[in-house]
Amino acid sequence: MTLLAYCKTNNGNAVKRIPMTNPVQNGLEALFLNQENAFRAGRPNEVAFDGDWNPDEDELLTLVVSQEVANIIAVATGNALALPVIDTAHFEAENIRALFTVAGNDGAQRLLVQRFTGMQLLNRKRALLLHENNFRELTEPAFTLGASLCCVVENGLIKFDSYHNLRAIFELTEFYQEATDADIDAIAAHASINIAHLAAFKEEATQTLRKLIHKVMYSGVLDQHTSQEIQTRAAATGLALVLDNGILQVPEDKALARQFFRFLDDSLYEAPLSGQRYVTNSKRAI
């Protein structure tokens, strides 16, 4: 089992090999397999990630392997000894985002991936090393391994439990995009809605609002329901929407505009007993 590093530098992304002695390499195999067992333990259910909720304790989230990850798989499952070796003299400059290894046999291989951060570089700290009954300061490049896996890649899927940790390694914007100004222009041109002051709306649109707009655009909800139907159903959740000549008016107030698009995204919920409205980050059908 070979320890590999995924590096992201100004010169591009690269998979590099970390040279180790045989005893260390043998110990790493057991470490990664134990971490895989802990990662999977008690989580038999896998649910496709849609950007809206965190997994329950018995679940892992999944994403279809992106082109970036597919490239890593192709390189890592080839001849590992032919990979470039990490520059040990300039270890910090390698900008390592992940440490990983390949487990399994041909046809059933999987990547076991740890997130790597600058906090794991010991040469950034005043680390002391025992040598002949005395401690000396560690001056050589050194790092610690992660305590757990960030994800497992197998069968065309990335399996993970934290979107925050995963996006620190891989580019995930294709899965969780924000609306551009052109996208906002497009949705503003839809026959069902009106944005009164479009330029100001785009100027003030936050990241959260742009993500909601992007999801609403590609959900087709405005084509699947009439303006009157949307107004009626919104009223049932306590959200009052204004219709002008059959056209929904997007609220000018920023908080109300977010509620408007949350409703269209099915992420505004009214509790049946208390009547309290909530923002929900789960769309799992039950």
Query: What is the reported pLDDT for 106?
Result: 74
Query: What is the reported pLDDT for 271?
Result: 66
The whole-number mean pLDDT for each consecutive block of 10 residues of the chain, a chain of 286 residues, reads 90 91 88 96 89 78 93 92 89 91 88 93 72 77 90 96 92 82 95 94 90 88 93 90 94 92 80 65 58
Query: What is the reported pLDDT for 141?
Result: 77
Query: What is the reported pLDDT for 126?
Result: 72
Query: What is the reported pLDDT for 218?
Result: 83
As a three-state string, the secondary structure of the chain is: CCCEEEEEECCEEEEEECCCCHHHHHHHHHHHHHHHHHHHCCCCEEEECCCCCCCCCCEEEEEECCHHHHHHHHHHCCCHHHCCECCHHHCHHHCEEEEEEEECCCCCCEEEEEECCHHHEHHHCCCEEEECCEEEECCCCCECCCCCCCEEEECCEEEECCHHHHHCCCCCCCCCCCCCHHHHHHHHCCCCEECCCHHHHHHHCCHHHHHHHHHHHHHCHHHHCCHHHHHHHHHHCCCCCEEECCEEECCCCHHHHHHHHHHHCCCEEECCCCCCEEECCCCCCC
Give the C-alpha distances (Å, rounded to integers) separating 80 from 1, 2, 84, 103, 261.
10, 7, 9, 13, 48
Query: What is the reported pLDDT for 113?
Result: 98
Q: Indicate the domain borders of the chain.
A: 4-167, 181-279
CA distance 115 to 143: 13
pLDDT tens-digit map of 221-256: 999 999 999 999 999 888 899 999 999 999 999 999
Query: What is the reported pLDDT for 25?
Result: 85
Query: What is the reported pLDDT for 269?
Result: 67
